[in-house]
Structure 1
């Protein structure tokens, strides 16, 4: 529907567990899609929630169902608190990604917890969620979902790169949008930097002080995933079953692990972009603040990395999930088969009304 303007709260929790991003946005569709991020915040996870969500990967049956409900209540409460604190009165709906526990499209399943009906019941606002399941049912990867936002909201850039728990990239090729996960990033770096009793490596300073282990670097770079044909996506399974066992068998000190893995990430990302000084890459996600990682990526490519303002870095994904909700509510496609490999473009998500 043209000439539609909606006020939406987009909610995103990434695999790096750095917190819940909440963005109150205005999205308009006239000749082109336009957006304005009106209010935004990140709610850090407590140690208890970090532990619960990380351990969710190992839960079964009733315990996982309980976590889904508890997390849905938690999301509903923090969203309501965000609305109250910011005196927000006009909200058409909430679009929530939830938090990914499982993502294994090769076995036809994915799970994002954060029970939608609880969010609706607590806030009294229509809620749109579960954006991935339908795509997998249609033979797709259920990821990445952000490229529709890259195409409609950030088309002035040649590439859109997200550096979160995983890195993913999107671009236009042969008049269609393509996108794919590249490699793990913060989910691995944060795992190892925990040895220093900190949550993340500020600006990559610790990694910069380490030495590259070429044997580990070569083994990581030779993983079959990196040569798989697209579309493809990554989940936590790839970390616990492949990446961490490979790294740990080398018994390296933490600084050298971080240094080696940063080089691995930079090399893998640079492989996926054209080295052309006339082209640009928009960088978002927490990894955009990792100065050393950005330097290493730029070292491998002449294509210019663009670091936007803090609001875009921190809330681009929450913004895009607001857009996904906008498109779903308007009956427009929000999942692209050229990105996910699904059998058709489609409008994904489940709508809960109060």
Structure 2
């Protein structure tokens, strides 16, 4: 008996953690009728999900992504590391991994701290919607810093990031030619004047110009996740004052707190769909060759087989099995270390600067794929 979950069901949109959790206790996998993908298989339990994500029989492909309507000359730059063949993916991953390593993210921390301090210093003194005033500008400003984008050019990059963060697919697609031209300009500038940033790191790697430009502009596409992470985390911490008080009393606990926040309220509800390269079996269910399979992150991150008392938000929780918010295996999120640093710096500075912070109003998007707020109005 394989349950089917209707992604348009208001109860699923309102509380995906309960909906997917109930299905998880009935079966290892569920069926998801998904517009644009047909019907997908969704793995609901942690052990089987982790195994699938590391299984070479399941891999992303062109059908894993929404096709964007762009001019023909832009198409060579739309391929991602997930879409290429296994050998090419491994080569690209090994080539660029040093530029995204945890050590590099730690070296970048002081720059993130300066960006966070600047954005917090510009907030009004009474109330603010944290999303447009802080959470959305932060990731794209970090990306601009990573890519060595000149100050005069950054407003354009912010407009690209805002379109993605707001889910404005058509608006972002229309701007892709400009994003790619800006990425080309950044690469050309760094050839003349190398700097201590990601683009210079990539110049030292064995990549073609097309591959480098693709990676630069894909930073804008993939780098918006911290915006939703930050607002989800702030809302969660303010809803659990005992946990927030313990964190304020022990600021050194922030890295572990970020891991629990990623488990508890990470914005991505599903991993990028993989396609079965051959007939396979997951939890006793046959997955026919060529069919899409995803992981329901909202289910696996609260699987009682992997986490003790998973329905409790606990900043002292030991890592245990480890959340899958950044996926797992060969397609583990390349920017995870930078996202973690942003989270740690942003939350530490925000709660240190505003000890009386409280929620005045919030609204959440009815988005079947992303657990995200559209408004988080705070009072200081």
Alignment TM-score > 0.5, same fold: no
Q: Which has the higher strand share?
A: 1
TM-score normalised according to structure 1 size: 0.28
TM-score normalised according to structure 2 size: 0.27
Q: Which has the higher helix share?
A: 2
Q: Looking at both structures, which has the greater relative contact order when contacts are Cα pairs under 8 Å and sequence separation is at least 6?
A: 2
